[in-house]
Chains A and B, each alone.
Chain A
Amino acid sequence: AQKITQTQPGMFVQEKEAVTLDCTYDTSDPSYGLFWYKQPSSGEMIFLIYQGSYDQQNATEGRYSLNFQKARKSANLVISASQLGDSAMYFCAMREGMESGGYQKVTFGTGTKLQVIP
């Protein structure tokens, strides 16, 4: 079974508009972390935002916010005021066993390609 599911292979958004990228996850571990990474065409993986399973508040980092709905096991990324430089591949990812230490691997979804239209 897929641990991370991203159902939108591609998305378009008008510049300056907000966009939501969907992510659902599957785990029975009570202690996990959810991440979003951005991969521009140059290929590097850029960390955007993190949400811990015990965090009460939704994470925010500048124009990025994570809409965390624990009961629904969803962790959608919201990008406000889209910019042309936001055009990239976006990966949702999860690390389980966060209480056990720092070596658990990160599992990635299949990604969503976002294109920002001028």
Chain B
Amino acid sequence: EPEVTQTPSHQVTQMGQEVILRCVPISNHLYFYWYRQILGQKVEFLVSFYNNEISEKSEIFDDQFSVERPDGSNFTLKIRSTKLEDSAMYFCASTSPNRGPEAFFGQGTRLTVV
């Protein structure tokens, strides 16, 4: 069963440092997303990405955030200068109109900013 994979599963970083969260979406999927879930809270949309550009982004996705698909398989989320409030679980997801309506989620990366 194809799946979305995320690395690392847990990252601890110092406040102000840059982090890159990595995702490998399902092969042949066309649309990619990042979501965030602060501990115990709802899952929030950050950004969607299609055809090598951002399709939509939320208010959370400010200039500190960027996304990239550097090769044909990886999809990354970069946080330039982390803040304490960036501590959360970050989920990558992918979809394809030819593969059913549901978004397939990775297992998440738990980011802890200290």
Contacts and interface: CB of A to CB of B under 8 A. Distances in A.
A50 B100 CA distance: 10
Interface of A: 33, 35, 37, 42-45, 47, 50, 52, 91, 93, 95, 98, 101-111
Contacts of B110: 43
Contact of A103 (B35, B50, B108): B50
B107 A43 contact: yes
Contact of A47 (B30, B102, B106): B102
Interface of B: 30-31, 33, 35, 41-45, 48, 50, 55-56, 89, 91, 93, 95-97, 100-108, 110
B89 A103 contact: no
A107 B108 CA distance: 17
A43 B90 CA distance: 10
Contacts of A103: 30-31, 48, 50, 55-56, 95
Contacts, number: 66
A102 B50 CA distance: 10
B45 to A, nearest CB: 5
Contact of A102 (B41, B89, B97, B108): B97
Nearest to B47: A105
A91 B43 contact: yes
Contacts of A93: 43
Contacts of A33: 101
